[in-house]
Amino acid sequence: MREVTIWYNPSCSKCREALAILMNSTYEVQAVNYLETIPTKDEITTALTMLGMNPRELMRTKEDIYSELNLKDEDDYDKLVDAMIKHPILIERPVIFKESKAIIGRPTSIIDKFLQA
């Protein structure tokens, strides 16, 4: 069976909406609450490769912790990834993985097209 994985925050309405879309698809869904099951450095690095992004593009820059850690001026790849591991709330959501590709499922209207590709 075809599988998709979603990194989601259950308190986020867009994540719940994305999860509902996935659950109503023909895919087997692996839902990972990334605040409880924190992605490893390898998992985040792989996600960044699949997304075609740098670490800052995967970060929620409006979170208070982003400012508190002064990450705006940080350019070191590993330090940005390490910040997401230590403070997973910094990870943009929801992230949806299928085969060797991934997307950030915002807006949720892009999810169906991603699943069909």
pLDDT at 1 over 90: no
Of the listed 6, 8, 12, 22, which one is catalytic? Answer: 12
The pLDDT of residue 26 is: 95
Catalytic residue status for 12 = yes
Main-chain dihedrals φ then ψ at residue 92, nearest 5 degrees:
-60, 150
The pLDDT of residue 82 is: 98
Cβ count within 10 A of residue 112: 13
Give the CATH number, domain containing residue 54. 3.40.30.10
* Whether 57 contacts 47, CB under 8 Å: no
Do 45 and 86 fall within a single domain?
yes
Residue-wise pLDDT tens digits, 33-42: 999 999 999 9
Model confidence, pTM: 0.95
Do 86 and 45 fall within a single domain?
yes
Range(s) of the domain holding residue 103: 1-34+93-117
Residue-wise pLDDT tens digits, 23-69: 999 999 999 999 999 999 999 999 999 999 999 999 999 999 999 99
